[in-house]
Amino acid sequence: MHMPLEDSLGLNLLAANQHQAAHNREHFDAWKLLCLNVMSSPGAGKTSLLERSLPLLAQDFAMAVLEGDMTTQLDAQRLEAVGVPVVPITTGRACHLDAAMVCGGLRLLRERLDPAGLDLLWVENVGNLVCPAEFEVGEHRKVALLSVTEGEDKPLKYPVMFREADCVLITKIDLLPYLPVEVERIEEHVLQVNPRCRVLRVSASSGAGLEAWHQWLRQQVALQRSSLAAPGPDPQRTADPALSALI
């Protein structure tokens, strides 16, 4: 038996997904919209936040939602009820959206409207603090939610998700008076892992903190528009050098 050959590949395991994600992003840029990937554990309040924010943002922005869900279309129905076009993406057994699924959602969206008329495209990911962090879908910004009921240690236990986020929303802060939780410790843990992200406290129930969150969104839309007007590297997405080397 002869010695085996060896091919040095240096191939990123997620190259196929990243290729599809780049393709999606090209479409987003051609349509001049900002795409946000919203991620959290199940029950952290992604849909509730969008239910509250979308009607308020609709005064300024044309929007649509790609709604990822493993088995039902319940979240999609909730968001349709606030008057925003929603395309449900039922993932079946998959615990996250990948770029190909989002591409399929975009095809369905284009049957309903012209995406070039949108300012913001929301991708509400499947509830999961692990997998969505690794599978980009072509988004310009990642938003991670963490509710105060989940505990102070979650950014340390699921660091990849919080490292990847451009904005971390600490949700359900209206419950703080009833919980032995120090919100400052949650913020400190997030910033240990990712000192560059924006951390905001919000409550979809009381409306606290929403104005700061919406202000951050407006800034991102403006930054995206200016980056498209002057092509070059996206200043908000400065990837880790170790990761960039793999792509």
Q: Which residues make up the interface to other proteins (CB under 8 A)?
A: 2, 4-17, 93-96, 98, 130-131, 133-135, 156-157, 159-160, 163, 189, 191-196, 240-243, 246
Q: How far is the CB of 244 from other proteins (least distance, A)?
A: 9
Q: How far is the CB of 176 from other proteins (least distance, A)?
A: 22
Q: How far is the CB of 13 from other proteins (least distance, A)?
A: 4
| Residue number with CB closer to other proteins (102 or 109) | 102
Output phi, psi for 188, to 5 deg.
-65, -40
Q: Nearest to residue 50, comparing CAs of 139, 125, 122, 152?
A: 122
CA–CA distance, 66 with 88 (Å, rounded to integer): 6
Q: How far is the CB of 246 from other proteins (least distance, A)?
A: 6
CA–CA distance, 57 with 23 (Å, rounded to integer): 27
| Residue number with CB closer to other proteins (9 or 230) | 9
Output phi, psi for 7, to 5 deg.
-100, 125
In single-letter form, the type of residue at position 223 comes to: L
The DSSP code for 52 is H
| Residue number with CB closer to other proteins (17 or 47) | 17
| Residue number with CB closer to other proteins (8 or 59) | 8
Q: How far is the CB of 170 from other proteins (least distance, A)?
A: 17
**Token pair belonging to 96:** 């996250």
Q: How far is the CB of 36 from other proteins (least distance, A)?
A: 21
CA–CA distance, 133 with 114 (Å, rounded to integer): 29
Measured in residues, the chain has a length of: 247
- 114 within 8 A of 85, measured Cβ to Cβ: no
**Token pair belonging to 27:** 């479409």
Q: How far is the CB of 115 from other proteins (least distance, A)?
A: 27
3-class state of residue 172 by DSSP: coil
CA–CA distance, 177 with 158 (Å, rounded to integer): 25
| Residue number with CB closer to other proteins (116 or 243) | 243
The DSSP code for 95 is S
Identify any residues that bridge with 124 across adjacent strands, giving them in sequence order: 38, 67
| Residue number with CB closer to other proteins (60 or 153) | 153
| Residue number with CB closer to other proteins (215 or 238) | 238
